Structure 1
Amino acid sequence: MPNQFSLAYLTVLGCSPPEMTYMAAKAGYDFVSLRPIYMGLPGEPNYALAENKQLMRETKSAMSETGVKLLDIELARIYEGVNPKRYLPAMEAAAELGGRHVLSSIWTDDRNFGIECFAEICDLAKPFGLTIELEYVPIASVYNLKGAMDVLHTANRENAGLMIDIHHFHRSGDKVEDLEDVPREWFRYLHLCNASAEIPSSKEEMTRVLREERLYLNEEGIDVASIINRIPQVPYSIELPNVKRANELGYEEFARQCLQTAKQYLDKHPRKKYVSHDAVGQDQLRFHSTR
Structure 2
Amino acid sequence: MIEPQSRELSLSALTVLELSPTEMVQCAADAGYDYVGLRLLPATDHEVRHEIIGDTPLKRETLAVLKDTGMRVLDVEILRLKPDTDVNQYKPMLETAAELGARYVLVAGNDPDEARTIDRLGQLCDLAAPLGLSPSLEPMPWTDVKEIGVGARIVKASGRRNTGLIIDPIHFDRAGSSLDDLRALPREYFGYVQFCDAPAARPADLDTLLFQARCERMIPGEGGLDLVGMLRALPDGLPVSVEVPTERWAKTTRAVDRARRLREATRAVLKEAHEAV
**TM-score interval (norm. to shorter):** over 0.9
Contact 2:54 2:96 in 1 (8 A): no
Residues 1-291 of structure 1: pairs in structure 2 closer than 5 A = 1=2, 2-39=6-43, 41-42=45-46, 44-51=47-54, 53-232=56-235, 233-270=237-274
What's the secondary structure of 1:222's corresponding residue?
coil
In 2, Cα distance between the equivalents of 1:203 and 1:39? 17
In 2, Cα distance between the equivalents of 1:142 and 1:96? 29
Contact 2:221 2:227 in 1 (8 A): no
Give the drift of 1:271. Answer: 6.3
Give the drift of 1:45. Answer: 1.9
Give the drift of 1:29. Answer: 0.7
What residue in structure 2 maps to residue 277 of structure 1? Answer: none
What's the secondary structure of 1:37's corresponding residue?
coil
Render the CA deviation track for 1:142-198: whole Å, top value 9, x for unaligned.
100111011011111010111101111111100101112211111100111010111
* CA shift in 2, pair 1:272/1:160, >3 Å: farther
Q: What one-letter code is carried by the residue in structure 2 that aligns with 1:54?
A: P
Render the CA deviation track for 1:189-231: whole Å, top value 9, x for unaligned.
0111010111101011100000111001121310101011111
4+ runs deviating over 4 angstroms: none
Contact 1:48 1:90 in 2 (8 A): no
Render the CA deviation track for 1:125-145: whole Å, top value 9, x for unaligned.
011011111100011111001
In 2, Cα distance between the equivalents of 1:46 and 1:208? 21
In 2, Cα distance between the equivalents of 1:38 and 1:11? 14
**Where does the alignment leave 5 or more consecutive residues of structure 1 unmatched?**
274-291
Q: What one-letter code is carried by the residue in structure 1 that aligns with 2:126?
A: D
Give the drift of 1:38. Answer: 3.9
Contact 2:232 2:273 in 1 (8 A): no
The structure whose RCO (Cα within 8 Å, separation 6+) is larger is 2
Q: CA RMSD in A?
A: 1.4
Q: What one-letter code is carried by the residue in structure 2 that aligns with 1:247?
A: K
TM-score normalised to structure 1 length = 0.90
Q: What one-letter code is carried by the residue in structure 2 that aligns with 1:205?
A: T
**Where does the alignment leave 5 or more consecutive residues of structure 2 unmatched?**
none
What's the secondary structure of 2:111's corresponding residue?
coil
Number of positions where the alignment pairs a residue of Structure 1 with one of Structure 2: 272
